[in-house]
Amino acid sequence: MSDIEHSRPSADVGYETTDVNPKTLLAWVAGLAAMIILSIVAAWVIFDVLAGYAQRADPKISPLAATEKGPPPDPKLIPDEPHDLSAVREQEEHVLDSYGWIDKGRGLIRIPIARAMELVAKEGLPGRPPPSGQAP
């Protein structure tokens, strides 16, 4: 005879001998559906309450403030960039090479750059006064 004992399988082992109870299954499905619906309603209420709070907390817009209704303005594009750049450079050259007033009230004028360089070369730049107590 063999040393291994072969035992009989238990009646508890194997497969499920009963079906699912339909009442229990329907109760679980109904409970799950109720929880989902309750969660949606609670979220809706919370969002409405928070939206009302945010609306009350936001600062009031002044009636004088300009409110634009409609699409934003188009971007300012440069259709002819080389021409525009040359026009800007001509304007800058005119300012640098001409005389003009900076501030008439204070008597400030603008002189051409070439003339300013001549004056600096001829007269030099103004220096700082020596500190008090020392000889120049």
d(CA 109, CA 101): 4
d(CA 111, CA 117): 10
Burial (CB count <10 Å: 0-12, 13-18, 19+), residue 84: exposed
* Cβ atoms 111, 95 nearer than 8 A: no
* pTM over 0.85, yes/no: no
User: pLDDT (tens digit, 9 = 90+) per residue, 1-57?
Assistant: 555 666 666 666 677 777 888 899 999 999 999 999 999 999 999 999 999 999 888
Tokens of 78: 């440069």
Residue located via tokens 């949606």: 40
User: pLDDT (tens digit, 9 = 90+) per residue, 122-135?
Assistant: 988 878 877 876 65
The residues spanned by each domain of the chain are: 21-58, 81-123
